[in-house]
Amino acid sequence: MQATRLMFLPGASGNTAFWRPVAERLTHPGERLHIGWPGFGSTPPDPAVNGMEDLVARVIAAMDRPTALIAQSMGGVIAMRAALEKPAQVTHLVLTATSGGLDLSGFDVEDWRPALQAEQPALPPWFAEDRQDLSAQLGRITVPVLLLWGDADPISPVAVGERLAALLPNARLHVLAGGEHDLAHVHAAQAAPLIDAHLGR
C-alpha cells in the first residue's frame, strides 16, 4: 500500500516548519500535512489536550487515508503509538533522532527537557513526565521503517537508533555523518532522497 498523505510531526519544540525543507524536496506525490502540538511552539494551547495520548489521538484523527508518518524526536514516539493503535492506516514510518519510546536508562543520553522548559516556560508540564517504554510492543509494527540518525547527536545517540532497528522487524538505520538532533532540518538535502526511496518501498 502506498501513502496518499505524508504527515510530518515535529519534536517537542513544536516547530511546524521543521520538516518543510525536506517536504519541499520530496518527489512523492502524497499530500503534505504538517501537524502542530497544542501548547508547543506557535500552536495555541487546547484545553482538551492534557497528555501524550491526546497528541496521539490528534494524529490518528488525521489518518483518514493511507498515511506515511514522518516524525522528529518526540514526534517519533507519537508516530509509533499511532502505528500501534491504527496499523491499517499507516503505510510507512520515518523516525529521526527519536529519543523516547524506549527505556533510556542504559544509554548515555543528554536530558533535553530542562533546557527546553527553560527556553519555553509555557510548555505543558506533562510532556516532561512521559517515560512510556514501547519496547515490548514494537515488534507489532511491521510497516517499513526508516531510522535516520546523526553520529553527533548527544540527545539520541546512534545506539538508540540501533536498539530501535533491532526491535522493529522491518526497519533500516541510516546514519548521517555530522548530524545532530536537528539533522533532518539541517541536512534536508541528504535526508529527502533517503525518505523518497523509503516511501517507494
> If you average pLDDT over every residue of the chain, what do you get?
93
> What confidence score (pLDDT) does residue 175 get?
98
Task: Report the half-sphere exposure of 64 (CA within 13 A, side-chain side).
Answer: 5
Confidence of residue 109 (pLDDT cuts 50, 70, 90): confident
C-alpha distances (whole Å) from 200 to each of 35, 54, 68, 84, 189 are 23, 31, 11, 22, 18
Q: Beta strand pairing status for 31-34 and 67-72?
A: unpaired
Listed residue (36, 35, 71) closest to 146, CA to CA: 71
- Averaged pLDDT for residues 179-190: 96
Whether the per-residue pLDDT at 100 is higher than 80: the answer is: no
Burial of 167 (0-12, 13-18, 19+ CB in 10 A): middle
- The pTM of the full predicted model, rounded to 2 decimals, is 0.95
Rounded CA gap, 106 and 109, in Å? 9
Identify the domain containing residue 125 by its residue range. Answer: 5-66+73-199
Residue 79 has phi, psi (to 5 degrees) of -60, -45
Grid cell of 32 as nine digits = 503534505
pLDDT of residue 7 exceeding 80, the answer is yes
CATH number of the domain bearing residue 126: 3.40.50.1820
Alpha-carbon gap, residue 36 to 155, rounded angstroms: 22
Pairing of strands 67-72, 171-176: unpaired
pLDDT band with cut points at 50, 70 and 90 for residue 86: very high
Position 112 confidence tier, pLDDT thresholds 50, 70, 90: confident
Residue 191 corresponds to which cell in the numbers above?
535526508
Judged by average pLDDT, the poorest of 26-40, 122-136, 138-152, 177-191 is 122-136
Domain tally for the chain? 1
> 199, 68 in Cβ contact below 8 A?
yes
* Residue 94: closest CA among 50, 47, 141: 141
